[in-house]
């Protein structure tokens, strides 16, 4: 795979004004620009016109990247994008259809995009109505459980997090989350203002879905039904304003930011797949598949790096040995340092680290810690602990044979010797007693780091997948409710 640049452009061929004087006059007379925005818009269009003429003289493409304009003008990217959209709305820049919308269910009677919008709208209304005037302190799992119990059966923990993220980014709420995943949610404005803004966004979203369905139906005639619909934000804004339905009678003062917010909302909840344009928080990456699929990197390419990191581990042990010698025998420590700088490295290692000590300096543990963790294991148990290549290991043994011990020590080995992060580990057991036993034994081996390793029962893990609070009655039919 090859990743390309992911930066939005304003193509200089889209400039409709004849010269800078006309551009300045139209920007100054426009009601879309505030007093503090006029100067920035003038600087942006001046740079675009200048780049257009330079490119024409050099017979090349004009430089018009948003990132580039923001850097050379000392203006934030958000302000550049906002000014460009307003100039498109005013007709100073051509209104190019730079957004592609994918409605994957075009031609189907299910209307999945509409159903998705209805589902998220119902869940969002529930969340907003349950945030009190002061604050709401609750876990995401508990909030999802409450929603399901209040007849919003399609609610999931992932959907709630998606909505909370959107509401936070767009300034509806402020959210804090502690290490135990308990959230504290505050409304940033009064309930009436938030509800009005939410209902307005929902109306815009409904109109957008219906309008795109109509465009998609026209586009799909005689062609593939997966073909995207091309449109622009300004075009959508004008469509809403010109709509004669009584539902949109109060939308004469509709702002571009409201349309962008609705499109971003539809994109985040998965009702639409949008590409291009400036409304996304992060522009999609441009990734291309390389046709030549031959392996470009082999194990041998990492050999030098592997040797480097092995030697770094050895250096730690070598310094530790020097510290021990300084305590025991000062003269021996001086000779040790002299040999380190004068002797060949391999000869130095063979002189001071003989027999078993050669393997000791290969590990990223002190000999004392290694002995504490693995010193009392049998040879067969050590083979299991030392196996770093097998994808699956089955430990089949009878009662009292040390299965639990092996599993606990294998967990410790994964964390300390194989550099596996605690968030990459999940241990499942059949009973709560076994989970507690594993946690206690692991704490004895690695200390407080064991608190970060997830050890759950199968039922507890299933409840987590569903985003529900666990209870014994629901556990009987829990596995039947898991999404396949």
Alpha-carbon distance of 277 to 81, in angstroms, equals 10
Reading the block at residue 64, the tokens are: 């018009």
| 91 labelled binding-site residue | no
Residue 185, H or E segment: strand 182-187
Whether 377 and 391 have beta carbons less than 8 Å apart is answered as: no
Got the DSSP string for 74-95?
T--HHHHHHHHHHHHHHTSB--
Alpha-carbon distance of 265 to 260, in angstroms, equals 8
Residue 415, H or E segment: helix 403-416
| 250 labelled binding-site residue | no
| 401 labelled binding-site residue | yes
Structure letter (DSSP) for residue 479: G
Structure letter (DSSP) for residue 33: S
| 398 labelled binding-site residue | yes
What residues form DSSP beta bridges with 273?
A: 102
Nearest Cα to Cα of residue 475 among 484, 462, 434, 483: 462
| 193 labelled binding-site residue | no
With a CB cutoff of 8 Å and minimum separation 6, the contacts of 453 are 411, 415, 422, 425, 427, 439, 442
Whether 144 and 155 have beta carbons less than 8 Å apart is answered as: yes
Residue 35, helix vs strand vs coil: helix
Got the DSSP string for 325-363?
HHHH-HHHHHHHHHHHHHS-HHHHHHHHS-THHHHHTTS
Structure letter (DSSP) for residue 284: P
| 367 labelled binding-site residue | no
**Residues annotated in a binding site for ATP:** 397-404
**Residues annotated in a binding site:** 397-404
């Amino acid at each position: 795979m090859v990743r390309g640049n992911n930066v939005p452009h304003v193509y200089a061929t889209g400039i409709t004004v004849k010269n800078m004087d006309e551009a300045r006059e139209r920007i100054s007379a426009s009601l879309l620009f505030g007093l503090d925005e006029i100067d920035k818009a003038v600087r942006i269009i001046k740079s675009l016109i200048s780049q257009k003429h330079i490119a024409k003289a050099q017979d090349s493409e004009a430089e018009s990247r948003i990132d580039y304009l923001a850097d050379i003008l000392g203006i934030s990217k958000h302000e550049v994008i906002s000014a460009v959209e307003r100039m498109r709305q005013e007709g100073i820049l051509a209104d190019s259809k730079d957004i592609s919308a994918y409605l994957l269910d075009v031609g189907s009677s299910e209307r999945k995009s509409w159903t998705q919008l209805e589902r998220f709208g119902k869940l969002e209304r529930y969340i907003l109505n349950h945030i009190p005037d002061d604050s709401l302190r609750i876990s995401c799992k508990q909030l999802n459980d409450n929603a399901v119990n209040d007849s919003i059966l399609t609610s999931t923990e992932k959907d709630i997090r998606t909505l909370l993220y959107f509401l936070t980014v767009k300034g509806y709420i402020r959210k804090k989350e502690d290490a135990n995943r308990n959230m504290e949610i505050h409304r940033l404005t009064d309930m009436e203002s938030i509800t009005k803004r939410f209902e307005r966004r929902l109306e815009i979203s409904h109109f957008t879905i219906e309008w795109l369905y109509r465009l998609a139906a026209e586009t799909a005639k005689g062609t593939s039904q997966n073909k995207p619909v091309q449109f622009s934000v300004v075009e959508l804004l004008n469509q809403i304003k010109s709509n004669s339905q009584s539902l949109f009678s109060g939308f004469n003062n509709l702002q571009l930011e409201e349309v962008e917010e609705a499109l971003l909302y539809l994109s985040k909840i998965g009702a639409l797949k949008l590409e291009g344009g400036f409304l996304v928080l992060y522009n999609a990456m441009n990734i291309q598949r390389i046709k030549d699929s031959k392996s470009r990197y082999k194990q041998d390419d990492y050999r030098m790096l592997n040797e480097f990191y092995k030697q770094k581990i050895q250096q730690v042990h070598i310094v530790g040995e020097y510290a021990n010698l300084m305590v025991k025998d000062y003269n021996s420590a001086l000779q040790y340092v002299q040999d380190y700088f004068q002797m060949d490295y391999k000869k130095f290692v063979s002189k001071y680290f003989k027999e078993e000590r050669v393997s000791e300096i290969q590990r990223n543990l002190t000999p004392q810690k290694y002995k504490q963790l693995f010193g009392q294991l049998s040879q067969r148990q050590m083979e299991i602990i030392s196996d770093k290549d097998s994808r699956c290991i089955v430990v089949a043994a009878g009662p009292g044979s040390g299965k639990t011990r092996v599993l606990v020590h294998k967990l410790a080995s994964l964390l300390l010797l194989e550099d596996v992060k605690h968030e990459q580990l999940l241990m499942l057991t059949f009973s709560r007693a076994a989970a507690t036993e594993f946690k206690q034994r692991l704490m004895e081996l690695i200390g407080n780091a064991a608190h970060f390793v997830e050890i759950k029962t199968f039922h507890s893990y299933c409840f987590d997948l569903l985003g529900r609070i666990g209870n014994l009655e629901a556990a009987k039919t829990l596995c039947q409710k898991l999404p396949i």
